[in-house]
Structure 1
Amino acid sequence: MFESEDGKTYFVKIHAPWEVLATYADVLKIKVPFKANDIPDNSQMPMNWLATPFRLPEHIMHPEPDYFTASFDNSKCDFFLIDNKDTFFPPSTRNRIVYYILSRCSYFRDECGDKDKKGIKRLLNNGTYTAAFPLHDVNANCESDRYNLYKYWARFFCFFKEQPLNLIRKYYGEKIGIYFAWLGFYTEMLLFAAVVGTICFIYGFLTYDDNEWSKEICDEKIGGNIVMCPLCDKKCGYWKLNTTCNSSWQSHLFDNVATVFFAIFMGIWVTLFLEFWKRRQARLEYEWDLVDFEEEQQQLQLRPEYETKCTNRKLNRITQPYLPITSKCARMCLSGATVLFWISLIIACIIGVIAYRLAVYAAFASIMKDSPTSNLQVVGPYITPQLATSVTASCINFIIIMILNLMYERVAIWITDMEIPKTHLEYENKLTVKMFLFQFVNYYSSCFYVAFFKGKFVGHPGNYAYMFGSLSKLRNEECDPGGCLIELTTQLVIVMTGKQVWGNIQEALVPWLMNWWGSRKARNHPESLYSRWEQDHDLQGFGQLGLFYEYLEMVIQFGFITLFVASFPLAPLLALINNIIEVRVDSWKLTTQFRRPVAAKAHSIGAWEEILSGIAILSVVTNAFIVAFTSDMIPRLVYMYAYQPDSQRNMKGYINDSLSVFNISRIQLTTLWIFLCRYRDYRYPPGHEKEYEHTMQFWHILAAKLAFIIIMEHVVFSVKFFVAWMIPDVPSDVRARVKRERYLVQEYLHNYEVEKLKVQLSLNSSNDCTCTPMIYPSLPQHEVLSECL
């Protein structure tokens, strides 16, 4: 026990001797080497020299030779390759064993002996101890693993270097190693999506001058002479089409032929990403001895909270605590109701933001109503009331998202604790599902509204649709004549970029400021008085859910770049830049700003893999609908190929064709008398026998949209399933190594037992003990048991 410099805090350093480590390594079935790997490594890629600038030194990447491993057995220590007992178990394994013991150690038993209190977590919760953590290596020691991680991994100027995953696993454990392996692989795959997305954006920029419909909107003789119907009641007036000139040009950057190609490409890219990750994960499972880990975790590592709260026991093959079915159902129902309540709260907030958009747009239009024809004049050089409303609403929506996140996190943890999951894996999976369902609705609902609802249920002049009914006077929003795609792009950029910037600031700045403030007193004392354990104690705790939030952040980003990527091809580029920073920020935090977390094992990214697969399937549907219903791609193609002569095949006259006519009373607009206003729809003009009903062109366009969705989904899904079938989840060389290792374990254990038996027999013979060999016919002849008479 050590007293701290302040004289108030006491530190207890726990050391586990070899006997303890060996005993619990046997209990936890920890795999250790027993034979050097004799399979030739053919993983060298051709032209491997091209990757030399991105490689780290060999002693950092591969500090240990490759071995075949088997579960440790304390009674067979001489079977394994034990050169030095002090270094046989890596640091991550040692601190995992110690924490396993502490989490199950009883510290109080009542007089009757019926109940006992156990676990370091309980002592931390009741304030007996303030913290429990493994110590970091001394950073000043150039030979330490921590120093090497800081030098070759955590520094930002190493962003182009590969990650030392084996060293991360050795120092922090497999669970953290798997996270950084996945994050690095995801970032590498984003490079391809970012390049293709940037090319599509450049295509939109290079074809800027071929945009005939924007030229017509901006033309004084065409767009300047088209008077549009008011976009809201009473406060909004008539306006000229050419006031939306700028937004029409901006929309072309993202709404062009390349959009369709990129949407299809991303549907295939996400499949390749998931399939190649499965292969990468299978290789790591083998290299890190995680092939059979899930079964061990489920059976051996019950949560201490589960063992403490579940006092009922039932007899089966293993006597273990259990939760009665009635109690489990009641807890599940309460948990589900709580999640539904919070999701309903998000939807209510989104409806409130939509009402804000409608009310503020009318206010903007009223303020800028300086002349009868220019109530939609620009606020600045390029800002219209629609853009101003969209930007402010997106910012308010982002603020609401962050506030609800902070509130819901504690609720999600509380209801997951209330369910009393059996294992740590089950706990994390339950929390993952709850948090992701909430975050999915929280982050994506506003984008879904703009993409699939805004401008779709407007009605027409004389018969408009209203939010909350006609008494509310809040008319449903309309899209610009250029479409809603540019507004979806604005919404996506603000929410996605805002989340990434805020997340990086929160992850890097907050721990640094808290550590700086917490260690202010220690900085006034010499380094000799500021011990290693005190320095670690002043760092921030990583927490059991530290990785959970990192995964959640990346999966939400994955949703942005897949679900709505057809509206913003530069989204993968923004994600790539963020992830390059994210890898270094996370590594810097772990090595310098956080206490060393307790090592944990994980054979995969867990429930996140199923969530990513679900997002990948949903993204094909959403992008198909965005191209069909949010973009104006299909109406333009129908106009060009069905309503233009074969000799023309151009977009001239498209704007006039896409606007319907409404008859109004005679109103003077400055020097112009008008009788008609235009609105975005395909309806018969006044005076027609089917006045204001949808034209045949509307039904042609609708049929083309539905046909496009069906064709795109079938094409992309067919390619996805074919690619998934073509690429095996486990590489052939890994499968061969696993089989080879299992064969060698059986063979070597058999030989070991035979040799051990021979030694025992020779010892018995030398002691002149009369032995009668007993040969069992059902066993091979070499399996002989002897009984000493």
Structure 2
Amino acid sequence: MNELSEEKQPVFEIALVFSKKEEKDEEYEDYNEVMEVLVDQLKKTGLLVETVPGLAHEFIKLAAPLEALGKAAAELQIRKRTNIGMDLAFDWDQVKAFARQADGSLFSWCERHHCYHHLIHGIVNRSKLAVPLKYGSKKFYWELWEPLLQRLETEGILKEVFPLHDEQKKKEMVSSWAFNIWDVTRQPIDDIYLYFGTKIAIYFAFLGMYTQWLLFPAVLGIVLHSVDFGSLQFLAHPVFFISIISWAVFFFQFWKRKNYALITRWNISYTVGTGPGHKILGMDLNSRQHPLEFAKKLEADNAIEKEAYQRYEWKGRLKRIRNDAVIILSIICLQLPFELAYAHLYEIIGSDIIKFGLTAVYLLIIQYFTRIGGKISADLIKNENIDDKEYRADSLIYKLFGLYFMQTYIGVFYHALLHRNIMTLRKVLIQRLIVSEVFENLLENSLPYLKYSYKKHGAVRFKKKHDKGSSKGKVKVNSRVEKEYLKSAYSASIGGELEDGLFDDFLELALQFGMIMMFASAFPLTFAFAVVNNIMEIRTDALKLLVMHKRPVPRAAVTIGAWLNIFQFLIVMSICTNCALLVCLYDAEGKWKLEPGLAAILIIEHILLLIKFGFSRFVPEEPAWVRARRVKNATHTQDVSRQLLRTISGGEKMFNPAEAIKES
């Protein structure tokens, strides 16, 4: 156990927020104090507890020693990578067999958060009688086998449970990441993974790689914009167009390779979930059931289970088709006419002041439309038979992106294809890429600070009102945990429970990618603007996560999910739009005479579609070393499987895969 003794001193990672006590009533003296009971119960689970008074709330900070985390992980049956490469249910007695993280810790931040959740929400009344509790002027009974935190939430005593920043690690990452402008696109991805979890680390890995790869089309666009190719000028735009489509196809193939490499390096299983136990046909593999009884039960339930699964599967598919149809028809019938009306009015109005007022009204209305669309989409998804939270989040992303796609691009399409005004199109592109993105960066970094200042002022005002002028000196927030609590959560602008703040960050990248790709032939210089914006985005997003917001709740997603399909869709769209733009560019008279270049444009379109769907097979998605490691792990799995078969055929031992694996 020498390795365990070298484990770092536990730090406070979770905070519980309670409302301020009201005036006490002597009548309740026979009741137990809530805070005393809760602190005692938390300590019994093995957690380190510290109470902190605040201006407007009371706080409890929690830290977990390794042993407490290990026992919770064993109870949850969290699957972890072992030193032989297999993923097995964690066993505290065999702790040395499990691989450690890059920083030497046994559990990742995502695993630790699951353990904290299990420990604090697993506190139930195991006594024989209901326990009378009081909190200020409130009194109630803690019933038998009732979760204590759930009851405190119902009573309005417990306000929130949120993760705390590790001050030492945060300062190190602010210095090495957020303020390290000299590395440009280089980021400490492994440190981001250890501190924030997989999903956020994958986002920043994607953002960094995307920005690096953007340098090629940016340089190409600057050359095309600056150099006069003389008699070969008519070939410059088609060559550039073909180059960027090829660039996009290869970028996403190499991104998939990097994604595989990252999750393999972090010892994350991307084929098996990390939930509490796994089931086959509704039966828990960790149950202690005799193999003969297990086989009989499996055979009897096989036909029933198959029919139920088929009915469940097709019912869910039909619901998803219905919901998608509702969203698509809503976009076509409601949002499309509104967007076209705005674009038409913007085109015919001559006064800049009226245009500015029209844009302001448009932005207000479109935000209202988007919120309504988000609520409708979330309600529709609740009726779909999707058990996995990440799949439900992907379904929400697809539906919402349709709304944002329409409001972002329909005006640009209007200027490009209907009015065929290239100069106006370039002005709109510059406006969208520079003004809107700078405005978004300022907004997403200033709003959290304004919300924090408002909440801080409210806490100070509450303290003064509660003390009724008895406090001397200036009242201010002193405790770190209260400062963390007053910060805004890293949440999506749509307010959906299925998505966090990465929805807005990925949405911004996707809309930018569509803008620079779909109209590349009209204004190649947009790639240079995108590079500058993304370099700033890396640092501002890092500062936002480390300083402006609470520490996000970790998510276990190992890919960018639905956004990858959205980016692929935008590549196909860019092939179509750029072909139309090339026709517009070479139609000098503005009469849409397609005959001279129609054949060439069609040939280019077919070549690019071939590149999109053919060249993606040229670069393997999985690196050779990752595939070799997977084959090696599969060999170990076969050996363990043989041991399981011998255990089953023996008929004496219980069918428990975890025990069979340990014996092997």
TM value normalised by structure 2: 0.70
**Which residue pairs with 1:252 in the alignment?**
none
Q: Is the 8 A contact 1:25 1:72 kept in 2?
A: yes
> Which residue type is aligned with residue 88 of structure 2?
S
**Which residue pairs with 1:514 in the alignment?**
451
**Which residue pairs with 2:259 in the alignment?**
281
Q: What is the rounded CA distance, in whole Å, between the counterparts of 1:325 and 1:604 in structure 2?
A: 26
**Which residue pairs with 2:196 in the alignment?**
172
Q: How many residues align?
A: 544
Question: What SS is found at the alignment partner of 2:164?
Answer: coil
> Which residue type is aligned with residue 70 of structure 1?
D
Q: Is the 8 A contact 2:185 2:535 kept in 1?
A: no
> Which residue type is aligned with residue 194 of structure 1?
A
**Which residue pairs with 2:426 in the alignment?**
489
1:150 to 174, 178, 189: 174
Q: Is the 8 A contact 1:271 1:720 kept in 2?
A: yes
**Which residue pairs with 2:138 in the alignment?**
none
Q: What is the rounded CA distance, in whole Å, between the counterparts of 2:119 and 2:418 in structure 1?
A: 56
Do the aligned partners of residues 101 and 702 (structure 1) sit closer, same or farther apart at CA in structure 2, a change above 3 Å counting? farther
Q: Is the 8 A contact 2:256 2:621 kept in 1?
A: yes
Post-superposition offset of 1:436: 0.8
Q: What is the rounded CA distance, in whole Å, between the counterparts of 1:300 and 1:549 in structure 2?
A: 33
Deviations along 1:458-499, one digit per CA (max 9) or x if unpaired, are xxxxxxxxxxxxxxxxxxxxx5xxxx2222222222233333
Question: What SS is found at the alignment partner of 1:131?
Answer: strand
Deviations along 1:352-393, one digit per CA (max 9) or x if unpaired, are 2244246535xx7xxxxxxxxxxxxxxxxxxxxxx9999998
**Which residue pairs with 1:611 in the alignment?**
566
**Which residue pairs with 1:99 in the alignment?**
117
Question: What SS is found at the alignment partner of 1:565?
Answer: coil
> Which residue type is aligned with residue 220 of structure 2?
V
**Which residue pairs with 2:522 in the alignment?**
567
Map 1:550-565 → 2, pairs under 5 A: 550-565=505-520
Unaligned runs of 5+ in 2: 1-38, 40-49, 131-144, 280-302, 462-471, 492-498, 654-659
Q: Is the 8 A contact 1:198 1:573 kept in 2?
A: yes
Q: Which has the higher helix share?
A: 2
Post-superposition offset of 1:173: 0.7
1:576 to 505, 517, 531: 531
1:441 aligns with 2:419: no
Q: What is the rounded CA distance, in whole Å, between the counterparts of 1:714 and 1:565 in structure 2?
A: 18
Post-superposition offset of 1:92: 3.7
Map 1:226-265 → 2, pairs under 5 A: 257-265=235-243
Post-superposition offset of 1:731: 1.1
> Which residue type is aligned with residue 181 of structure 1?
A
Do the aligned partners of residues 120 and 705 (structure 1) sit closer, same or farther apart at CA in structure 2, a change above 3 Å counting? farther
**Which residue pairs with 1:741 in the alignment?**
633
> Which residue type is aligned with residue 735 of structure 1?
R
Q: Is the 8 A contact 2:324 2:399 kept in 1?
A: no
Unaligned runs of 5+ in 1: 36-67, 139-143, 212-254, 302-313, 365-386, 455-478, 637-657, 659-679, 682-697, 758-772, 777-782
> Which residue type is aligned with residue 162 of structure 1?
R
Do the aligned partners of residues 323 and 517 (structure 1) sit closer, same or farther apart at CA in structure 2, a change above 3 Å counting? farther
Do the aligned partners of residues 730 and 6 (structure 1) sit closer, same or farther apart at CA in structure 2, a change above 3 Å counting? closer
Do the aligned partners of residues 134 and 293 (structure 1) sit closer, same or farther apart at CA in structure 2, a change above 3 Å counting? farther
> Which residue type is aligned with residue 90 of structure 2?
D
**Which residue pairs with 2:247 in the alignment?**
269
**Which residue pairs with 2:107 in the alignment?**
89
**Which residue pairs with 2:291 in the alignment?**
none
Do the aligned partners of residues 546 and 417 (structure 1) sit closer, same or farther apart at CA in structure 2, a change above 3 Å counting? farther
Do the aligned partners of residues 148 and 752 (structure 1) sit closer, same or farther apart at CA in structure 2, a change above 3 Å counting? farther
Post-superposition offset of 1:350: 2.2
> Which residue type is aligned with residue 595 of structure 1?
K
Q: What is the rounded CA distance, in whole Å, between the counterparts of 1:324 and 1:736 in structure 2?
A: 34
2:94 to 77, 82, 87: 77
Q: Is the 8 A contact 1:565 1:623 kept in 2?
A: yes
Larger radius of gyration: 1
Do the aligned partners of residues 98 and 563 (structure 1) sit closer, same or farther apart at CA in structure 2, a change above 3 Å counting? same
> Which residue type is aligned with residue 512 of structure 1?
Y
> Which residue type is aligned with residue 615 of structure 1?
L
1:9 aligns with 2:87: no
Q: What is the rounded CA distance, in whole Å, between the counterparts of 1:449 and 1:122 in structure 2?
A: 56
Q: Is the 8 A contact 2:316 2:384 kept in 1?
A: no
Post-superposition offset of 1:415: 3.8
Do the aligned partners of residues 119 and 560 (structure 1) sit closer, same or farther apart at CA in structure 2, a change above 3 Å counting? farther
Q: Is the 8 A contact 1:187 1:576 kept in 2?
A: yes
Q: What is the rounded CA distance, in whole Å, between the counterparts of 2:389 and 2:249 in structure 1?
A: 29
Q: Is the 8 A contact 1:332 1:419 kept in 2?
A: no
Q: Is the 8 A contact 1:25 1:97 kept in 2?
A: no
1:181 aligns with 2:199: no
Do the aligned partners of residues 78 and 551 (structure 1) sit closer, same or farther apart at CA in structure 2, a change above 3 Å counting? closer
Q: What is the rounded CA distance, in whole Å, between the counterparts of 1:774 and 1:419 in structure 2?
A: 43
> Which residue type is aligned with residue 513 of structure 1?
L
Question: What SS is found at the alignment partner of 2:87?
Answer: strand
> Which residue type is aligned with residue 723 of structure 1?
F
Q: Is the 8 A contact 1:154 1:587 kept in 2?
A: yes
Q: Is the 8 A contact 1:23 1:74 kept in 2?
A: no
**Which residue pairs with 1:639 in the alignment?**
none
Q: What is the rounded CA distance, in whole Å, between the counterparts of 1:104 and 1:355 in structure 2?
A: 59
Q: Is the 8 A contact 2:177 2:188 kept in 1?
A: yes
**Which residue pairs with 2:389 in the alignment?**
424
